[in-house]
Structure 1
Amino acid sequence: MKIVSIRLLSILSLSTSLMMVLFLSPLRAQEKITQNQGDNLARSNTLIAQNVISVTGVSVNQTPEGLEVILETPSNSNLQPLIYPQENTLIIDILDAVLTLPEGEEFKAENPTDDITEVKVTKLDDNSTRITITGKTNPPIAQIVPSQSNLILSLTPSDAPKSEEESEIEIVATQTEQENNYVVPNVTTATRTDTPIMDIPQSVQVIPQQVIRDQGAINVREALRNISGVTLSNTSGNRGESFIIRGFNAAQFTNGLRDDFYSSRTRTDLANIERIEVVKGPASVLFGQAEPSGIINFVTKQPLLEPYYDFSFTVGSYDFYRPTVDISGPLTEDKSVSYRLNIAYENAGSFRDRVYTERILVAPTIAWQITPDTKLSYEYTYLYDQRPIDRGLVVLSDNQIPNIPIGRYLGDPEIQEQFTEQRSTLYFDHKFNPNLSLRSIFRYTYANEGGPGCTLEIFGDSEDDRNFPLGECIGNQDYETWTWQNDLIGKFNTGSVKHTLLFGTEYSRQSNFYEGAFRSAGTIDIFNPSYDFIFGEFDPPGIGNNQVTNFGIYLQDQINLLENLILVLGGRFDTYEDKGQFNGVPYVTNADAFSPRVGLVYQPIPEVSLYASFSQSFTPSFGTNVNGDPFKPLRGTGYEIGVKGELLDGRLLSNFALYDTTLSNILTEDPDNPGFSIQVGSQRSQGIELDVAGEILPGWKIIASYGLTNAEIAEDNTFPSGNRLNNVPTNTASLWTTYTIQKGDLQGLGFGTGIFYVSNRAGDLENSFYVPSYILVDAAIYYQKERFRAALNFKNLFNTRYFDGSQSRTIVQPGSPFTILGSFSINF
């Protein structure tokens, strides 16, 4: 759910498929009405949806909870309601819909329930419709029920008369793939409470489902390149994807729960992902251990209350095939139990020689609305992935990447690694009253990495810049995690000051077992390779296990000092233990840390937010110094100032930020005791970021970014100060835009194009070599009519030779050449 303050939005753009919750006091509603009610009709011709939608029927039905009002519209309609209370009446203006009722230009139902005296639907003007719902004492609570066509309002009476400052309206809707928007105004990741982006004192960007679909993104890296300061860190041999934000490694989460190498051994599949939220800057105050870069949070698709069925198929270059199924709807007549099921199968070749991959995703979710205030949800994910470990190309002694085909695989791709992941997550949500709620989450994950082989790859430098030593690994790894997270959210006032208080606890335990063996496999001539390998004997196997236990307790207060001044204060205390053994030798590491955050948001006008923040992070360090003392955690400290803007009546959202981030307590060589380390190292990143997303004109959408990142070593005993951090480009820029024809015989035909720039990057901390810069151009053409959509996506249109990044001189990851993806989908 999302909590959106209506005072922040000039026009509330809700479709029947966007999930959000709006809490509005009459004080703010009256402010909004005073400012905007006289301008609504004047603005109606400049709203997002210029095509007027016909309302062909209205019906009112009693339900166990109250009343249901249905406005019958064509399939895939995208209505734009503006909602506000007026005394005991709830007013809903739909500025892009016109009544075409057979019985006339007005619908009225009197006293449909004991608590609602009248429901009226009338023509407001030639392009607008008004719904008025009058309660006996208070405006009713309206819940927008997700639907692919009709606008459905589920009405329940207010519990009791409330004071002016305590009244609120709740509106709920769920975003599906039909949502046609590049702007998501609310996020949960930054504060763990549904908060407007304009009220958050740090940089937050969102990649919604619409952007993922328009770009034909088949992996996370293709989606995240739209955000400033975010670049690929490494792929762990093309089995996973990790990212850098503002110069440091980013932690990844799913629905606010950590996803590191204990719970995820391979890349995230996008089939069941609704959107991706990126919060920049130190985030340990709510999420525990993490570098000061920020976090990436994947938000999964949730059950819908109206039947929905979507079937799609994508085929592309290099024998790429991917069918997906997304179905949802109620399981009971009263819609108290609903489900969603996402299934994806992918079978693909690659531009890399003889490389084939296969993956299967099955992700069901069931939600039970036990009472209007209590909900229980269960989410399960099964992911199977099989692929060879692929380290890419190498660097020669002249610090250049050799001029060999980027498709050349320097190993044996027939040796496949198999990955299996299972996740079970139970969500419990309860609202004690309108001002106090609880969310409790329990998750168990199991991940296995193994298979008939493991990997055969280059394991060292070459003496002649031609023949590189090979080695083979075999082994098996098992990982389990248990996580229990609780968030208690309370809203209260101290005089005229409003508070949203979050108190939370999180307990997690992660464990793994691993075994493996290594043997030499001869050499490979990178210019004229032979795949007849000469094997040696396996070394004695390495066997180990470990268990990591973490407990965190956190407190946060979002304080509305004034209507346009918000203060965010928070802190978290974590205690951490990692213990295990390798080949019979035990080890243990303990750490604890306190992570604070202070942020301030000032809104000189509702459409502009000025913000500043200070926050810290921690990451455990392992080992001891020469005296046997355990190392302290790495500490990150971040400062950020910026400005956010809602432009074009809220259709365009922008964020400009300046930041300064330092990571300290880094281990570096002890000059007085060779073989030992001391914690005097530090790294620093400073930069500027700009992100813009939204709709400029009807049908013309854009998402663009620019990032300037100066990330370097500040102090170190091993590498010179001033060396650039590896895999961090100084400049990144992106621009993706689409236009869809709005009227006429070609209505629904659209075009898209994108340009993505990444400057050169240091390949290692020694800065011994650099990965070259690149510019990629993508294009798309698509057609959508009612329930059908077809698209062609052209990626790397000019077949640019480029590299995503590097981990070392023997691991340089090449990027994909020109590829074409064709897709079609049908939903109903």
Structure 2
Amino acid sequence: MASSSPFVRSRKHAAPSIAPRTATSVAALALVALGAPAQAQTAAATLPEVKVQATPDAGYEPEKLSSPKFTAPLVDTPQTITVIRKEVLQDQGSTTLTDALRNSPGITFQMGENGNTATGDAVYMRGYDTSGSIFVDGVRDVGTITRDVFNLEQVEVVKGPAGADIGRGSPTGYINLSSKAPQADNFGAASLSFGTASQKRATADINRKFSDTGAVRLNLMVQDSGVPGRDHVTNDRWGIAPSVAFGLGTPTRLTFSYLHVQQNNRPDGGLPTIGLDGYYLSQLESIGGNGPRVDTSNYYGWLSDHDKVKADMLTARFEHDFSSDLKLSNVTRWGRSRQDLVLTGVFSSSLITPDLSNPAGWLVRLLPQGKLQTNKVLTNHTNVTAKLDTGGLKHAISAGLELAREEQDTDARTSQIDATNGTLVGTAYQAFNNLYTPDPSRALVPVVATGASTHGKLTTAALYAFDNIEFNKQWSLNAGLRFEHYKTDYLSVAAPATPAVADTALSASGNLLTGKLGVVYKPAENGSIYAAVATSSKPPGSDFALSATATNVNNPNLDPQKATTFEIGTKWELLNRKLLVTAAAFRTTNKNELAVADSVTGEVVQFGKTRVQGVELTAAGQITPAWAVIGGIAYTNAKILEGSATSTGAAVRYSPKVAATLWTTYKLPMGLTFGGGVRHVDTQARSTSNVALTSTSFFPKVPAYTVFDAMVGYEINRSVSLQLNVYNLTNKFYLARVNNAGNRFVLGAPRSFLVTANFKF
């Protein structure tokens, strides 16, 4: 748990992360590790005395960003940035990136299109899909998978266009995951968790020095869990992350790390929205257009549904300090993730032959869908940072070269067999199940490979340079520029059963020039006031797909979408610089979107424009050594400025006007810690139409919700502590995700509990 302790603690001992395949093997590993101090004590009789001075926990205080591209301290960086440290994740009992991102206001999570259910970290930030702008240690991490936090030091949320930082990407920012690395110290931690819905999880984090300048670190994790409030849905995974470092504390350092994660989950295709306020179905018009709400524990898929993931990541990092003012780093990474998905989506946009007098006999349509997708990346990043003085100006420069090749291969899968008569049907065949008493063991509609496939390859080469110019103690200029050349190659292979359909081979290439510029004024040493502008670009094919259809956003003849953000704000380090508070007003405009120019002819032209503007306030750090806090509130107005006749002036979907989050913990002197939090998400527009609502509007908005969480922990001694987390204290019914059509949703977890035992050695 974060914050102060009556015991001397090393900050490296916070947060655990680990696990072999069973709880028994975790316990065995812990016993072996606990034996190490005894062995060391015996050896100490013949070795010189070594004095180790422990440093206190940093708690929730955001110290710095992991990327060398940011050369100024956080308080002097002219951009909205949230740093979520591992201590926050431990206190909240967080296990996934989605859990972690609830600490940043303005982020929502969605289900995707009707026939393409989004899985994993389906992140929307300030109204735009940010799932393709997730990075691990500065390297893009593509894939519709759920990312675990067991090997993370912190999560960094950077908001606003960031083309200069990352290249192509979302108009409203990106998310970077900073991994744990070996340290010049000996420490270990482990945890065992048990909770509602048979949740079981174990983690471990062990760091050992093997020389004065070398160390190894091992993070392990295993989880075997159900999902609170949901029948048959499971989250089962395990992971291992070894790393070794040479040259720690010397000018030349070399680190090798490997991450392997496997998942074997049963995914959730959602619940029908029938029975919710705002639902309307013309089939039910004679009884008011709605029906009874379904039992929220209902599972509409088959027990054979699965989400199997195998992910590997191998990284080599080289660093050399020519001097305290000149440093070189190089990162090479190979990564691969493979997702084998079979998921059944449920739809309540129509019912099959309903007898209005007998809801027990109503049948709901289903869409079994599948995907076999492999993502690969091979990349090399070289960066140089330098500090120098020229003509009375102080420069902090970061420049580099990034080379990357990313590939995505997808084998098409579909349900083609009608379970009622065994005949072949089209790729959009929809099975059925009883709406109120679904049977997951009913006759199977298999999802099979069609023989069709798509292959996308994206090659990029980029040069960038950043300079933080300090004119004096009050004024500085933060500037960055990136030039990137990209080339996308795309091949779509038709299924053998459709010989009349030709294979499609397309390519696109171009150059992107993006930048950012910020002016910073420091009225005091611990505060700043700034104004900034930044841009980003997203060309066709950014998500590995190209299309010959003129009205498709991925047509290679289209121009890149371009976004510009203007932001003014202020940041202050308060309470002995342990608490960072920020306030910012922003306006982002994204242009070159496709829109219908003529409603009669249906002509689609690239003239669409959307705008997201608002105010965001955040705070993170320590109010006192015992009192930690992280939170924020965002007011956002997201609107379509130019679009089709029915969309111009409408709200951007999935962008709540008000979103707030707060989490705080307080540790009493006797080792008892209390914590609690609240999350509020305002009403979200599901449709991008500005047509006046009528009684036949179909679930036009996602309802607002407020959820309270709590925790209590007790430190038995300096090696063992216990922690209880209670989620959704008031058992609030809310919709965590809604699909684009509004006919199905993912349930927000009802009241649930998680008990964790934390160990240090």
Structure 1 CA distance for aligned equivalents of residues 586 and 121 of structure 2: 25
* TM-score (ref. length: structure 2): 0.81
- 2:735 counterpart of 1:825: no
Task: List per-residue Cα deviations over 1:232-275 (Å, max 9, x = no partner).
Answer: 244885741132222223321111111122xxx41111111111
CA contact (8 A) 1:565 1:603 kept: yes
CA positional deviation for 1:471: 3.3
Identify the residue that residue 284 of structure 2 maps to in structure 1. none
Structure 2 CA distance for aligned equivalents of residues 600 and 695 of structure 1: 28
Counterpart amino acid of residue 798 in structure 1 = T
Identify the residue that residue 432 of structure 1 maps to in structure 2. 322
CA positional deviation for 1:287: 0.6
CA contact (8 A) 2:111 2:119 kept: no
Structure 1 CA distance for aligned equivalents of residues 371 and 577 of structure 2: 54
- 2:518 counterpart of 1:599: yes
Matches within 5 A, 1:615-626: 615-622=534-541, 623=547
Identify the residue that residue 254 of structure 1 maps to in structure 2. 136
Which of residues 412, 427, 430 is equivalent to 1:516? 412
SS at match of 1:688: strand
CA contact (8 A) 1:625 1:676 kept: no
Matches within 5 A, 1:559-638: 559-582=469-492, 583=494, 584-622=503-541, 623=547, 630-638=557-565
Structure 2 CA distance for aligned equivalents of residues 533 and 674 of structure 1: 46
CA contact (8 A) 1:699 1:739 kept: yes
Identify the residue that residue 364 of structure 2 maps to in structure 1. 468
Identify if the C-alpha distance between structure 1 residues 459 and 77 changes in structure 2 by more than 3 Å, giving closer, same or farther.
closer
Identify the residue that residue 91 of structure 2 maps to in structure 1. 214
Structure 1 CA distance for aligned equivalents of residues 515 and 660 of structure 2: 32
- 2:434 counterpart of 1:525: yes
Which of residues 157, 165, 173 is equivalent to 1:294? 173
SS at match of 1:260: coil
CA contact (8 A) 2:271 2:346 kept: no
Identify if the C-alpha distance between structure 1 residues 391 and 195 changes in structure 2 by more than 3 Å, giving closer, same or farther.
farther
Report sequence identity in percent: 26
Identify the residue that residue 271 of structure 1 maps to in structure 2. 150
Identify the residue that residue 485 of structure 1 maps to in structure 2. 381
- 2:122 counterpart of 1:242: yes
CA contact (8 A) 2:300 2:346 kept: yes
- 2:584 counterpart of 1:667: no
Identify if the C-alpha distance between structure 1 residues 740 and 708 changes in structure 2 by more than 3 Å, giving closer, same or farther.
same
Task: List per-residue Cα deviations over 1:588-628 (Å, max 9, x = no partner).
Answer: 22232210111011101112210110000011125467599
Identify if the C-alpha distance between structure 1 residues 632 and 363 changes in structure 2 by more than 3 Å, giving closer, same or farther.
same
Identify the residue that residue 678 of structure 1 maps to in structure 2. 605
SS at match of 1:221: helix
Task: List per-residue Cα deviations over 1:42-93 (Å, max 9, x = no partner).
Answer: xxxxxx9697x8xxxxxxxxxxxxxxxxxxxx555999xxxxxxxxxxxxxx
Structure 2 CA distance for aligned equivalents of residues 308 and 298 of structure 1: 22
Identify the residue that residue 399 of structure 2 maps to in structure 1. 503
CA positional deviation for 1:640: 0.3
Structure 1 CA distance for aligned equivalents of residues 595 and 11 of structure 2: 60
- 2:463 counterpart of 1:557: no
Structure 1 CA distance for aligned equivalents of residues 90 and 480 of structure 2: 36
Task: List per-residue Cα deviations over 1:643-677 (Å, max 9, x = no partner).
Answer: 11111221221000000001111122353896763
Structure 1 CA distance for aligned equivalents of residues 435 and 488 of structure 2: 41
Identify if the C-alpha distance between structure 1 residues 204 and 382 changes in structure 2 by more than 3 Å, giving closer, same or farther.
same
Larger Rg: 1
Identify the residue that residue 765 of structure 1 maps to in structure 2. 688
CA positional deviation for 1:179: 2.4
SS at match of 1:227: coil
Structure 2 CA distance for aligned equivalents of residues 366 and 77 of structure 1: 20
Which of residues 658, 668, 675 is equivalent to 1:741? 668
Task: List per-residue Cα deviations over 1:147-206 (Å, max 9, x = no partner).
Answer: 9x9317xxxxxxxxxxxxxxxxxxxx8xxxx725111232234x6245311110111111
SS at match of 1:286: helix
CA positional deviation for 1:401: 9.9
- 2:710 counterpart of 1:779: yes
SS at match of 1:355: strand
Task: List per-residue Cα deviations over 1:772-799 (Å, max 9, x = no partner).
Answer: 1111111111012312111000000111
Identify the residue that residue 298 of structure 2 maps to in structure 1. 408
CA contact (8 A) 1:668 1:718 kept: no
Matches within 5 A, 1:18-33: none
Structure 1 residue runs of 4+, over 6 Å off? 48-51, 399-402, 536-539
CA positional deviation for 1:567: 0.2
CA contact (8 A) 2:264 2:308 kept: yes
Stretches of structure 1 that go unaligned for 5 or more consecutive residues are 1-16, 19-47, 54-73, 80-146, 153-172
SS at match of 1:151: coil
Counterpart amino acid of residue 306 in structure 1 = D
Identify if the C-alpha distance between structure 1 residues 203 and 393 changes in structure 2 by more than 3 Å, giving closer, same or farther.
same
CA contact (8 A) 2:169 2:538 kept: yes
- What RMSD, in angstroms, separates the aligned Cα atoms of the two structures? 2.8
Which of residues 368, 390, 393 is equivalent to 2:268? 390
CA positional deviation for 1:414: 2.9
Which of residues 336, 350, 355 is equivalent to 1:446? 336
Matches within 5 A, 1:237-386: 237=117, 239-250=119-130, 251-261=133-143, 265-332=144-211, 334=212, 336-350=213-227, 351-369=229-247, 372-386=250-264
CA positional deviation for 1:539: 8.6
Structure 1 CA distance for aligned equivalents of residues 11 and 397 of structure 2: 38
Identify if the C-alpha distance between structure 1 residues 401 and 290 changes in structure 2 by more than 3 Å, giving closer, same or farther.
farther
Counterpart amino acid of residue 445 in structure 1 = G
SS at match of 2:349: coil
Counterpart amino acid of residue 594 in structure 2 = L
Counterpart amino acid of residue 53 in structure 2 = L
Which of residues 102, 107, 111 is equivalent to 1:225? 102
Structure 2 CA distance for aligned equivalents of residues 78 and 539 of structure 1: 48
Structure 2 CA distance for aligned equivalents of residues 439 and 459 of structure 1: 51
Identify the residue that residue 16 of structure 2 maps to in structure 1. none
SS at match of 2:94: coil
Structure 2 CA distance for aligned equivalents of residues 720 and 680 of structure 1: 13
CA contact (8 A) 2:373 2:411 kept: yes
Counterpart amino acid of residue 437 in structure 2 = N
Identify the residue that residue 29 of structure 2 maps to in structure 1. none
Matches within 5 A, 1:23-172: 74=8, 76=10, 150-151=52-53
Identify the residue that residue 458 of structure 1 maps to in structure 2. 346
- Please say which of residues 310-319 and 406-415 is displaced more in the overlay: 406-415
Identify if the C-alpha distance between structure 1 residues 529 and 751 changes in structure 2 by more than 3 Å, giving closer, same or farther.
same
Identify if the C-alpha distance between structure 1 residues 517 and 595 changes in structure 2 by more than 3 Å, giving closer, same or farther.
same
Identify the residue that residue 726 of structure 2 maps to in structure 1. 794
Structure 2 CA distance for aligned equivalents of residues 50 and 368 of structure 1: 32
Identify if the C-alpha distance between structure 1 residues 535 and 305 changes in structure 2 by more than 3 Å, giving closer, same or farther.
closer
Structure 2 CA distance for aligned equivalents of residues 385 and 338 of structure 1: 29
CA positional deviation for 1:487: 0.9
Identify the residue that residue 64 of structure 2 maps to in structure 1. 186
Counterpart amino acid of residue 222 in structure 2 = Y
CA contact (8 A) 1:76 1:786 kept: no
Counterpart amino acid of residue 303 in structure 1 = P
Counterpart amino acid of residue 580 in structure 1 = Y
Structure 1 CA distance for aligned equivalents of residues 226 and 756 of structure 2: 17
